Structure 1
Amino acid sequence: MDELPIGRRVAYWRGRRKMSQQVFADRLGKSKSWVDKVERGVRRLDKFSVVYEIADVLQVDVQLLLGKDVERRPDSINCIDQVEVEEIRQALERYDQMSAFFQPAPQCPPLPEMRKAVSHAWLTFQHAKYGVLARTLPKLLRDAQAADTAHSQGEDARDAAHLLGQVYQIASSALRKLGEHELSWLAADRSIAVSQRAGDQLLAGIASYRVGSALLALGRARPSLEVNVNIANRIAPGHDMGTPERLSVYGMLLLNGAMAAARIGDSATVRDLVCGAEEAARALGGDFNHYWTCFGPTNVQLHRAAAAVELGDGRTAIETHEQIDQEGFAALLPERRAHHYLDIARGYTQIGDVEKASEMLLEGDRLAPSEIRCRPLAHEVLSDVLRRTRGTPAAPIAELAEHMGVGV
């Protein structure tokens, strides 16, 4: 994007922030006509003060607008910056398989080495190390794509496709957390296609879960509900209740469907889907991480609380939270637990208890800082807490707000 005129860069980032020209103009104190002329290159941006103001409104580094390399800031070490987003985008936009028709397949790491790298990436995500993951994802995507292309006709074809499908899912999950929902959807959709080539129904099933999550993040709750329920019905365990892996993927699809149903206010469907997931969790007999799902009885309870929050029933969410088995909760990976604290913080704001909401945010931050400091949703919750706080906020929450750049 460096070679684009500055007006085109402004238009690009305005589109990424989902602002209309009118909204953008209003925030700048300019006319829509002025914005249109800047983006078309008819009007020059020759004042640095205006460029800085535009960068501030678009929430990007001014160097990106000027087409220069951005120096990564120390305070972004646990999060993702625009440079990393663009690197991941470029990796997702590669079409190595098509290129292989015209030239030799690219060099790639050995598959055993790739398996280790993919497992490490999953654990990095589940420990909520999003900044670390963002810096490794572009290379991991390129390596997995190259491996899939290099082994497309050999006996290792399914293994290579399986690894690429997993990497797309890791990318989708991380991008969704960080607010890059369109890219998250693209990566999840890619994973479905690759999973079919891998010949693994459950990998395709959990890829559908990622698609459903991305659709929900994009505000497309009904399509999210449909894709989760449809695929869950296709892989539903039989009378023997199936394998632990099948139970895990099936259960997570039902839980994701419940979250979509909650978003549209369908409490009856939420209840049915959570009950179905609860039955699968009982059959599973504990909390496991098959297909990187962290599925089991404890995760069902976490989703029950999260669905209550989505339905606007903060009190039920808190009651559910208080009944969660503490031993099972402590055994979950940091991302799951910190995510839950964020959900319960939202529940406490719904009943007007900003002090307890603050405690939940701080607990999540102590456990997995990136889950709180890097997620747009957490910024919204913290802003809500600060707005509702009477007088000066407590020192720990004020310090967290300062770290996150949220105005007190």
Structure 2
Amino acid sequence: MNLAVTAAAAAGAPLLSGDKGTTSEAAVGETLVSRLGDAMLGLGSRLPDMRPETLGWELSHALTDFHTCQYTSLAVRLPRLLQAGHALTSSSDSPEPALLLAQSYTLATRMLIKLDEQQLGWMAADRARQLATAANDPLAVAEAARNLAVLGRKAHWHDAALSVALDAADDPALRTAGRRGAAQRGLLIQCAAYTAARNGDRDGMRDLTAEAASIADALGGTTLLRDHGGGFGPVTVQLHLISAENSVGDPAAALAAARALSPKALPSQERRSRYYTDVATALAHRGRRDECVRALLTAEQAAPEETHARPAVKSLISGLLVSGRTTSELRGLAARSGLLT
């Protein structure tokens, strides 16, 4: 049963203006993309200059918005971070503003990937890498490379995506960066494992997953990373394994991987929502519609804006609508996601 039918586009929404603008949860993704595009192209009014410490504080709040799936707030904060970061970087000889701007672009890339906006995603990821290189920060360079590998995977450039991730993991600078460097290597290998899965390479996926798991075990628990709020550890490896097993066409293995992981152990609402939507995807492929809907409703409870705005989730909901009987719960979820009026 193929329930991954392309979803109907969500209705448009006006851009936010000021700090207290509002938009529907179903359309907040479009708003965020539009505002990020304007900021990246230098459009819009000039903002007051920020000091580096203010920029760092704003970035911390933007990261919190991302991990708690507060995308309406992020649609205001993140574009302003990019604008202010560019202004500060151009007027400073210190590497600190460039690094803060690199981190802001890394966050923008992750959000654009989530919203399936690849063209702006490529631009954001490349800027993140250039700025991180200029700031001479190997961890930031590696995280930018990981996002470039994800974009390559989404473009079906699987061999290139594997090379980007694995070459970055072999950077000697990561091997001398202590625990955080090892954790960043684990994230890159984990990314490569998912790319192998998307390319249909089940054995390669499992070999790379085992390598990432070995690094996680050696570190002895989750290692927090500045540019990746979930950090790296056995929990993140297991979460990626659910997605990877789905991608190689083995939903039973995906569900088994999910049963081995407690969602309460996941580090953020964003990651918990991803867990439940991955479980829903596996259940859909198994034809277990009612359980699939329950998993989606649990994801919605954990992170409403994530569930309503993310195109992959909308596609799954749309597929359920057209593939069999519907229930009031499914129709309500579809309406809240902008798929029914």
**TM-score, length of structure 1 as denominator length:** 0.74
1:267-291 CA-partner distances (Å, limit 9, x unpaired): 1211121111111111221123312
- Selected match of 2:126 from 164, 189, 193: 189
Alignment match, 1:115: 56
Unaligned runs of 5+ in 2: 1-7, 16-20
Q: Which of 380, 383, 387 in structure 1 is aligned with 2:315? A: 380
Residue 365 of structure 1 corresponds to: 300
**Counterpart selection for 1:337 from 264, 272, 275:** 272
2:285 maps to 350
- Distance of aligned partners of 1:235 and 1:131 in 2 relative to their CA distance in 1, 3 Å threshold: farther
Residue 327 of structure 1: how far off its partner (Å)? 5.0
Q: How many residues align?
A: 324
Larger radius of gyration: 1
Residue 30 of structure 2 is matched in structure 1 by 81
Is the contact between residue 128 and residue 368 of structure 1 (CA under 8 Å) also seen in structure 2?
yes
Aligned-partner Cα distance in 1 for 2:210–2:306: 28
Residue matched to 1:274? 209
Please show how residues 254-265 of structure 1 align to structure 2 within 5 Å: 254-265=189-200
| 1:150 matched residue in structure 2 | 91
SS at match of 1:289: strand
1:403 pairs with one of 332, 336, 339: 336
Cross-structure match for 2:226 = 291
Deviations 1:143-177 (A, max 9, x none): 011111111x2xxx211111010000111111121
Mean Cα displacement is larger for which, 226-235 or 160-169?
226-235
Which of 77, 94, 97 aligns to 1:136? It is 77
Give 1:93's aligned amino acid.
L
Aligned to 1:249: 184
Q: Tell whether the 8 Å contact from 2:13 to 2:28 is kept in structure 1 after alignment.
A: no
Query: 1:171-186, aligned counterparts within 5 Å?
Result: 171-186=108-123
Partner amino acid for 1:396?
A: E
**Letter of the 2:312 counterpart:** L
Question: Over aligned residues, Cα RMSD in angstroms?
Answer: 2.5
Counting aligned pairs with the same residue, the percent is 27
Query: Which of residues 294, 297, 303 in structure 1 aligns to 2:240?
Result: 303
Closer, same or farther: CA 184–373 of 1 in aligned 2, 3 Å:
same
Q: Distance in 1 between the 2:173 and 2:335 partners?
A: 47
Which structure would you say has the larger RCO, counting Cα contacts within 8 Å and 6 or more residues apart? 2
For residue 77 of structure 1, report the CA deviation from its aligned partner.
Answer: 7.7
Q: Distance in 2 between matches of 1:74 and 1:242?
A: 42
AA aligned opposite 1:322? R
Q: Which residue of 1 aligns with 2:256?
A: 319
Give the deviation of 1:254 after TM superposition.
0.9
Other structure's SS at 1:128 match:
coil
Return the alpha-carbon distance in structure 2 between the equivalents of residues 226 and 357 of structure 1: 35
Q: Return the letter of the residue paired with 1:333.
A: S
Check conservation: 1:91, 1:142, Cα contact below 8 A.
yes
Map Cα deviations across residues 240-299 of structure 1 (whole Å, 9 max, x no partner). x96221122111111111111111101121112111111111122112331233111111
Write the letter of the residue equivalent to 2:39: A
Deviation at 1:385, TM superposition (A): 2.3
**CA distance in 2 between partners of 1:372 and 1:182 (Å):** 22
Looking at structure 1, the residues matched to 302 and 144 of structure 2 have their Cα atoms a distance apart, in angstroms, of 27
Q: Which runs of 5+ in 1 are unaligned?
A: 1-56, 65-71, 96-105
